Amino acid sequence: MMLAGALGALLLLTPPSQAVPAPGDASPAAAAQVRFAPPIGVPLRYRVTTRRIGRDGKLIDFALVYALEWQRTGRGYRLDTVLQRIDSGAEPGVTRMLTMMLAPLVGEEIAYLVPADGSRIDLVDPGQLWDRVTARMEKAGGEADRPEARQLAQLIAALPAGERDRLATADIRALIAPANDAIPAAKALYDVDISIRHDGARRTIATVERDSAPIAGKAQPLEIDNLWTVDTDTGLVMRERRQSWIVESGGEGRRLIEERVRALEPAP
């Protein structure tokens, strides 16, 4: 996730369903199939939307909207990002804590460095960045008289530096196909169905994973649908959708329990 997405994940009612890879990890399959040439000096909008089942059984939606722009630096690239706004259709009381913590980050500029082949992502000056973030969170918590806000800031400050950086770079890693190790190779994986379709410079990869999840204290079958649309001219993932479904008893139907959509488009 980007920085705000990392904080949001800590506050959402259920943990992320997919592990976050370490910074610098790359997908050999993706790197071998896609060149990396992001558009330089072109303003972009990146929207990361999450819907999850809340404690009341209803879907809670939450979206982070970023402005992005790529620049050349040395032999690689610099990606400048700004969290522009936070959108949610949920009741204010449900997302109050989430919004209170992320609101101080609106307008915060965060930069990432990416080598020429797109194989890794690094934060620019992560130490100062995390100092600013935790200070703002503690201040917001104090002004709102919310001790849990200060506790969250302390929790983030106590995380190992590598763990914080993994959280803060995951959304950017998902955006860059050569660094996105969630995108599978063409070969079949155990218990995963894969299909790949080409349409000009767009490559669409779809997978269906099968697993199980504890629901109300009982393990139930789980199907996870993944869909990536990659621009092979730039090496960027234009759209990613991950949906987790509980398979009803007897396989009669499915119930959505989580959805995440990452979408990249030109700035309006």
pLDDT tens digits, one per residue of 14-43 = 333 343 334 334 444 444 468 899 999 999
146 and 197 share one domain:
no
Q: Please tell me the distance from the alpha carbon of residue 45 to that of residue 236, in angstroms, as a whole number.
A: 13
Model pLDDT, residue 132: 76
Residue 5 has pLDDT above 60, yes or no: no
Residues 129-139 have a mean pLDDT of: 73
Model pLDDT, residue 31: 44
Residues 97-101 have a mean pLDDT of: 65
Residue 243 — pLDDT band, cuts 50, 70, 90? very high
Q: Please tell me the distance from the alpha carbon of residue 142 to that of residue 162, in angstroms, as a whole number.
A: 28
61 and 106 share one domain:
yes
Give the percent of the chain with pLDDT over 90.
35
- Average predicted confidence (pLDDT) for the chain: 79
Residues in a beta bridge with 78:
71, 113
Q: Which residues, including other chains, have CB under 8 Å from residue 133's CB and lie 6 or more apart?
A: 3, 7, 105, 108, 156
Residue type, 123: L
Q: Of 176, 211, 232, which residue constitutes the final position of a domain?
A: 176
146 and 207 share one domain:
no
Q: Which residue, chain included where needed, has tokens 């139930």? A: 220
Is residue 181 in some structural domain?
no
Q: Which residue has the higher pLDDT, 173 or 98?
A: 173
Q: Which residues, including other chains, have CB under 8 Å from residue 141's CB and lie 6 or more apart?
A: 100, 101, 147, 148, 149, 150, 152, 153
Model pLDDT, residue 165: 74
Q: Which residue, 181, 167, 173, 85, is CA-closest to 130?
A: 167
Number of domains present in the structure of the chain = 2
- Backbone phi, then psi, for 255, in 5-degree steps? -125, 125
Q: Of 130, 149, 176, which residue constitutes the final position of a domain?
A: 176
74 and 129 share one domain:
yes
Distance, first Cα to last Cα, the chain: 23
Q: Which residue has the higher pLDDT, 197 or 142?
A: 197
Q: What is the pLDDT of residues 184-239, one digit of tens each?
A: 865 555 567 889 999 999 999 999 998 887 876 788 889 999 999 999 999 999 99
For 232, the domain range is 192-266
**Least confident among 45-49, 68-72, 249-253:** 249-253
Residue 100 has pLDDT above 60, yes or no: yes
204 and 164 share one domain:
no
Q: Which residue has the higher pLDDT, 123 or 34?
A: 123
Residue 7 has pLDDT above 60, yes or no: no
Residues 106-125 have a mean pLDDT of: 90
Residue 77 has pLDDT above 60, yes or no: yes
